[in-house]
Structure 1
Amino acid sequence: MTELLLRPTAAPPAPEPARRVRIRLRALFADPGLLAGAVLVGLVGLAALVAPVVAAIVGHGPNDQFGDLTLDEAGLPITGGNGFLLGADGSGRDVLVRTLYGARVSLGIGIPATTLAMLIGVTVGLVGGYFGGRIDAVLTEFTNIALAFPFLVTALSVVTLNRGSAGTTLVDPIIVVIGIIALFSWTYFARLTRNAVIELKSKPFVLAAIGAGAAPARVIRREILPNIAPTVIIYWAVQLPTNIVAEASLSYLGVGIKAPTPSWGTMIANAQDSALYQVQPWMLVAPAVALFVTVLGFNILSTRLRSRFDPRTVR
């Protein structure tokens, strides 16, 4: 009897992986803001995915013109009917289909541009923050110089240099826009990473790895990078909506995606230039609402992720 009383109690079994996943998902979806942001971002992603499906169902491509079905006797576009849910623009193109394809353009430019900026900025921040000294001073000055360039003037200059003979372009405009946006957003990641690395360099586990004779590349890869990765990923989500707005702004000003590619910026500019939004408001409302929902969704999602997972954020 005494042996039974003195026998140590067995520890409770650890939860199964599936149960852990359910617990984490339940905690995430208990946050209304996080859920709302995820739903909005999911809707935008779904719109980008189903755009070709919707175009095939209705039989309207993003650049197909149906003037005989969508223009009245005065040559003004209809606001709905004849198989066009949101009507058509001044050229007889389906506004709904073009808006859905605009999601593909915005995400197809914003995600690669933000990812490229993250890779460049993290590399600069890791090298400067870890090695310090003259290397850090040079990279810091290089970052300051990049910040000094005006966004719009530089974009106009790059677009001008990209023009060839007879009005052709030397490089695909999509690649040019991605490069311009990445050029002006990598500095944010560089400063964030540099500050985090400087703080981590004094931690005991990093000093222990250095004292054990680990090479700098190994210390950065094994000790520092895993610890800053969550913060960098969260700020990637923070920067993404800003870059989506930058793409729309460039397209709106005529230095980004060119017509007839269905970019939300070009659609808004076309509606305002032609003034047809006064008789066909969906020409302006549809792309503007789509851009608003996209930015709102990513902003809410990134803000909630930051408040939940960023250790430096005080709730």
Structure 2
Amino acid sequence: MNITALRTTTFTAVVMTSALALTGCTGEPDREDDDVISIATQRQPHLYAPYAYEDFAPEGTTIEVVPMDTSTDQMTALLSGDVDFALMGVPTVITGVSEGSDITLIASGADGGSGLIGDAEIEGVPDLEGRTVGYVPGSSQEMAFRLLAEEAGLDPDTDINMVNLGYADMHEALSSGDIDAFAGAEVGVSLSLLDGAEPVEDIYTTPLGPVNIGLATTGTLAEENPELVNELLGIHEEATAHLEANPSEWIEAVQGQFSFENEVLEQAVENIWLRSDIDEEYRGNIDELALQMQELEIISEAPVADDVVTEME
């Protein structure tokens, strides 16, 4: 099966501009057409899977993919009822749960997709003292970097100049010399590596592990319409497994959808591990991530994995 070819004839990602502009929303998904499932995602290779869902959906089921810029935007769309599901950053799901929002994680999506990248002369985290490092506040990359800095005896808030940057801006900022390193995501990581930058240190060696992306919905939908949620879970599992087993097809499909260069994607997929299961190790990573978010005062109280994850039958 060639996903790119199939998509050309059978599937167009739908940007639900009109849906996002609705007023008087009840906070529950619009289920007027039970054969249409909407899912929010982002324009990154490790969040590509929803674009392949249509190829694995039952006959008569339509998948509407809603591309968004941030996980915060995705959570807002979920909670307002504008989308049914979201493939998004796990830290944002944890934040929502800690605030009492009706959001829950039902599957993993992708591990990895991260990197701590710097100028070639930087030989390790200790060399970052007094230097400028780009990061996204509240991200798993920020928390992993802070743990690595502390292990190296550095206080990120006083010994390092931490600069808030969007993921898409990090490669250019490093290339131009505006920053010395960044804790960021693909494809910026691969762009910088191909441009001569080097990994400062393995970002996955902290207790957070490589946890990054998960599939979320609302607790209300999971409770009131488990048939729909289980249907989407099955689609997600099949699509994710197929892409993971066929990296060349995954690269071709991502390139066709997002127009990234092939060389960049070949580098990026080596740093991404697609998955859909939530095992005990993954739960442990969620627990550690939540504790670090509390430590950094991103959230006031850390939820445990059992509060973040809903196991479907």
Which TM-score band (shorter chain)?
under 0.3
Q: TM-score, normalised by structure 2?
A: 0.26
Q: Which has the larger radius of gyration?
A: 1
Higher strand share: 2
